[in-house]
Amino acid sequence: MRFTRTRSMMAAGASSALMAAALTSGTVVASDNNVVTQQMINEDAMHTDRVTSYGMGPHHQRYSSLDQINHDTVSGLVPAWAFSFGGEQQRGQETQALIHEGVMYITGSYSRMWALDAKSGEMLWSYEHRLPDGISPCCDVVNRGAAIYDDLVIFGTLDAMMVAVDRETGRVRWREKIADYQAGYSYTAAPLIANDLLIHGNSGGEFGAVGMVTARDPRTGEMVWERPVVEGHVGTLPDGSESMTGELNATWEGETWKQGGGAPWLGGSYDPELNLIYIGTGNPAPWNAHARPGDNLYTSTRLALDADTGEIVWHYQPTPNDHWDYDGVNEMVLFDLDYDGETVKAAATADRNGFFYVLDRENGALLSATKFVNEVSWAEGVDLETGRPIETGNRPGNPADTEGDEGESVVARPAFLGGKNWNHMSYSQRTGLFYIPSNEWEMEIWNEPVTYRRGAAFLGAGFTIKPVYDDKVGVMRAMDPKTGEIKFEVPNRTPLWSSVLTTAGGLVFYGTPEGYLKAICDETGEEMWKFQTGSGVVGQPVTWEMDGEQYITVASGWGGAVPLWGGEIGPLVSHITQGGMMWTFKLADIQTAAAR
């Protein structure tokens, strides 16, 4: 069975034709002397002429030192080009672009990938993964991006495969199966290159899939190590020996660990100096926590893994025995923090449970935990000594305690889609603030009896979602990690579902479901510029420099979890049209901009 369909502007072997076309448009295409190395990826944030990693650097700060586009010039920002994802395969477009040597690499819905001329937007090649019937993605057919390494572009697919293609031609070089899609596994994240390894997780927690972090040789796809993230499961070390994750039945009763969930479905960040991979794990399965007593390690947890072996170095679990589907996958952004007069290697994460955590990334010690949304009902705070939440008792009732099929319901804030979901926050080195795309919503949630059946949804819960406030759901918030103080907030009528970019030009870029890419002041939140893209923006803006000009790129295309799971949020977004465009902007008059 053929799994791929690749289209290219060149015939087999005609790489010179592509080179000639690229030179005509002012770009340089990948060649044998133009491989992407681990050092280049580690130094990604220091270079403005490329974006060679998801998160714009392994620390995932999503900050650029470029300042050509700034408060004085941003009004002159105009489209340079736009590329259509094409056809009827629209849905949510959550990709982050990678740019290297004049070529842009992007992914799209339904496991597709393209290489574009970064100057003109002209397509150089495309790859379309042939998906089988029966895939089971939880939350739309999205893909968040690729990794580039050596002369390869690597991404994951909805049928739980990892695919590497040649950067010049788009032709498949290797393909490896992550897990069985018929058992509910899938993949939507961007893989990570760390320690000269390809690091990826899996998706499928809502189907009882067991979370796994895997390291592969990026050149061949061969597995190097594998670490399950649910206690009791056995991982593989680089020498081929096995080791159990945690201790059997330490935090799970009976055999509940066997379909324990915990899928690390978003991806991770990396500290090259410490050689640690930081990755979050998903919700335990089923949602009905009465069926799985205990803390359920290592689900809904932040992990630090030894990049050489995959062994767990430390862990922090924000939501033990998660009863609300708060997960723990949200990104860990690595930064240096002035803490009690010392500089601490820190990591910050804004959890779906509504709390913003700052950890010591060397040892996992909790430094602070502060609410970043207004309404949190499940816990009143976090005990900084133990690191555990101070719960309010706001858990759904056990269906075994009632005569019907449903346990007693509760109203919980935030809703399970979270105070912040997958969409990434940004840390500005200019202001020292985090910019968090947050949401204010609540849910009524109740438990139901549930039995595991391979490939079927494994929830044991029902729910409804509605806004907390009449005038807003989304709120862009600027938070000081030293104090937990919210410096400003910018409300939005609908949920915020795009990632955030900050720049040395004093700007914060993010998108809205209403279709706007916006730029606000990083100190006040004042709106400085916006552009209507024609569909909801749930993509991830990046910026880079080419031939003396600064560019901003973002995907537009409404979709993702909100229209599928949003309940009473639906009427707020029902008018939004689907789309699929990659927009790239630059200043209209660079000479005038330079003079301002």
pLDDT band of 564, cuts 50, 70, 90:
confident
- Do residues 219 and 469 lie in contact, with contact meaning Cβ atoms separated by under 8 Å? no
| Annotated catalytic residue, options 322, 325, 327, 351 | 325
What are the pLDDT digits (tens) for 21-78?
333 333 334 344 589 999 999 999 999 999 999 999 999 999 999 999 999 999 999 9
- Among candidate residues 299, 424, 418, the one with its CA nearest the CA of residue 352: 418
User: Is 383 marked active-site?
Assistant: no
pLDDT at 592: 52
Rounded average pLDDT over 81-106: 92
For tokens 């031609």, the residue is: 169
Residue 538 CB-half CA count within 13 A: 32
C-alpha triplet 495, 566, 200: angle, nearest 5°: 80
Q: How far apart are CA 434 and CA 425, in angstroms?
A: 7
pTM: 0.94
Out of 86-95, 192-201, 231-240, 343-352, least confident range: 86-95
- 5 has pLDDT over 60: no
Structure tokens belonging to residue 455? 């490939």
The predicted pLDDT at position 91 comes to 86
Q: How far is residue 160's CA from residue 214's CA, in Å, rounded to a whole number? A: 13
How many Å apart are CA 326 and CA 352, to the nearest integer? Answer: 5
- The CATH architecture of the domain made up of 4-595 is 8 Propeller (2.140)
Pair of tokens at residue 152 = 């390869």
Contact 206, 199 (CB under 8 A): no
**Span 441-462, mean pLDDT?**
95
| Tens of pLDDT, residues 509-529 | 999 999 999 999 999 999 999
Sequence spans of domains, the chain: 4-595
The amino acid sitting at 222 is E
Q: Is 104 in a helix, a strand, or coil?
A: strand
Distance of CA 93 to the CA centre of its chain: 12
Query: Looking up tokens 């589907």, which residue turns up?
Result: 325
- Distance between CA atoms of 248 and 239, rounded to whole angstroms? 23
According to DSSP, residue 454 is labeled T
- Residue 122: pLDDT band by 50, 70, 90 thresholds? very high
Rounded to the nearest integer, the mean pLDDT of the chain is: 93
Judging by beta carbons within 10 Å of its beta carbon (0-12, 13-18, 19+), is residue 4 exposed, middle or buried? middle
Token output for 105: 């690499």
Contact at 8 Å (CB) between 540 and 144?
Answer: yes
Q: Which residues pair with 107 in a beta bridge?
A: 113
| Residue in this structure with the two tokens 């359920």, named with its chain if needed | 296
Buried b / exposed e along 368-380 (16+ C-beta atoms within 10 A): bbbbbbbbbebbe
Q: Cα dihedral angle (143, 144, 146, 147), rounded to 10 degrees? A: -150
